[in-house]
Amino acid sequence: MNFLENIFSRLQAAPDRVLLAEAHVGGMTPTGEAAAQNTATGSELLGQIASARAILRAAGLTKGDRCALIAPNSIRWAALDLAIIAEGLIAVPLYARQAPAELAAMLHDAEPNFICCGDAALRDAILAAWPDPPRMALLENMFTSTPLSIEPVHGPPLALEPTDTVAILYTSGTSGEAKGVMLTVANLGHMLSCTGARLDQLMGPRETPDRVFHYLPFCFAGSWILLLSCLSRTSVLTMSMDLTKLAEEIGVAAPNYFLNVPTLLERIRSGVEGNIRKRGGMIARIFDHATAAWTRVNAKAPHTWDFFWLGLAGLVIFPSIRKRLGPNLRALICGSAPLARDTQLFFMMLGIRVLQVYGLTETTAICTMDDPARIDPGRVGPAIPGIEMKLGENDEILVRGPNIFPGYWRRPEQTAAVLRDGWFHSGDQGEVDAQGNWRITGRIKNLIILNSGHNIAPEPIEEELVRAIRGAQQVVLVGNGRSFLAAIVTGEVASGEIESQLEQLNATLPHYRKIRAFRWVKEPFTIENGLLTANGKLRRDAIAARFAEDIDGMYAKPE
């Protein structure tokens, strides 16, 4: 039984149990009443899948055709995704908040036979960037406008081979050109067995379903794996529908665990510390003493009163903080970008485990996962069962195993560049300890990964700014592991010119690629001052070290 057959079997075995929910906190119905959560039981989800399968067949799609899905998370997103795979098609999920021109470029590359958009505005924006696309439909029409002459397609999914491609997920390369990562039935089957086993460790024996909250877009590999993991287990997954109401949505979901990017955890930490500082008095004093004590205890250099302060905070402060994140919380799971060790330790001080996950789209999202019983702060856990990891040249992390993708869509040369001698070359630098726990130390490639998990190739933006800013010699983007992009601009340039050109460029970019701060440096980078290589390329590490204080200053400003 493959992963999809297993999911269908579990849906059939839970006809009346809610499996998926949409959090509509504070929303209103057209009649002015408070909106209730939208939910789907096993039978309801199977019904939606059957309707979508019928429309896909009516569109003349056959096995191996590609179907693009561009929409925010929803129950219908999940149903259409499963319907696509059940019909033997290849799902091409794309980020709905991507700039229309970038979406059009990825669609050109994938050459889908069918495109489903979340709403009319998104469809029209894509049409403006790509006037002659294949057949397009709105997501709601895949479920609400099935012609009476078309019978829903019930029954098992079409037969799939382990090597069959079921999805193409796009990821940015260092050149800025998006590449489609092909993932197979075997890739997903292995990964879901690994995530299921780790979640079993976390939850232990239980009689009730896992309660899971989720806010990250399903078009991202790790996010998609969580969705499929929940459908492969006894779970109820509640999806965020409004990122401005995350706190309220988490309260409604009351999760046992949820997947995070470092940005959210750092915001929660800042919020907690800020609220305590505002309160002041004895509470702030206890918290400060406990925080200092926790630092010393983890450095194995405790003072006499440290355990007293930690115990006192554990009685009067920490329980109320934990309660805000939900009474059922077992752990926070964090991936997509490295989490600061101090932030991981902060949550552990509160009594909340943070489990780190490391991986890439090419590794079916995951290479390592923290063991819930043996967390080493600052590290991302051991390799998942069945795969091998080792260090190559320049401490590059190399991986092989059943989680490794077969290649990039229609890019044999780029595939060959990263799949060599049976090993996937990740482009990440790392180290591993005697217990097999890995730590990510940097990037060999130039790709910038924000702490929101967004991947950004700096070169195209840098080149555009050098051309646009009069007098600029070089532009270097920074922001790896940070919450936004910033730039260093060299040459005889007026500050107003930089601001003007950044404003114009930002207006054309999606939110995560906007440049929100800059520093002007009069002296250009040269081979002589050690900031350019012999062939004139930027020495990014040297630049980051030379201008570390300036870079820190850009991120010290309020966002």
User: Domain end: 95, 117, 148, which one?
Assistant: 148
Residue at 480 is within a domain: yes
Residue at 109 is within a domain: yes
> Collapsing DSSP states into helix, strand and coil, what is residue 28?
strand
Residue at 433 is within a domain: no
Block means of pLDDT (10 residues each) for the chain, length 559 residues?
A: 97 97 68 61 97 94 97 97 98 91 91 96 91 91 72 94 97 67 98 96 92 95 97 97 91 94 87 90 94 92 93 94 90 88 93 96 97 93 96 94 98 96 93 94 81 85 86 92 94 88 92 93 85 73 91 79
Alpha-carbon span 324 to 343, nearest angstrom: 18
The alpha carbon of 32 is separated from its chain's Cα centroid by a whole number of angstroms, namely: 35
Residue at 196 is within a domain: no
Look up the domain containing 54 and give its range.
1-14+42-148
CATH number of the domain at 487, please: 3.30.300.30
Residue at 494 is within a domain: yes
Domain count for the chain, please give it.
2
Residue at 448 is within a domain: no
Tokens of 157: 């999914």
CATH number of the domain at 107, please: 3.40.50.980
The predicted pLDDT at position 559 comes to: 47
Question: Beta 38-41 vs 18-23: how paired, if at all?
Answer: antiparallel
Residue at 125 is within a domain: yes
pTM: 0.85
Residue at 364 is within a domain: no
Distances (CA, A) of 468 to 175, 321, 499, 503, 523: 20, 48, 11, 11, 19
Residue 156 carries which DSSP code? Answer: P
Which residues are registered as beta bridge partners of 438?
432
Residue ranges of alpha helices (H) inside 393-547 are 412-418, 458-468, 495-506, 540-546
User: Domain end: 107, 127, 148, which one?
Assistant: 148
User: Domain end: 102, 131, 148, which one?
Assistant: 148
Distances (CA, A) of 232 to 9, 10, 13: 9, 7, 12
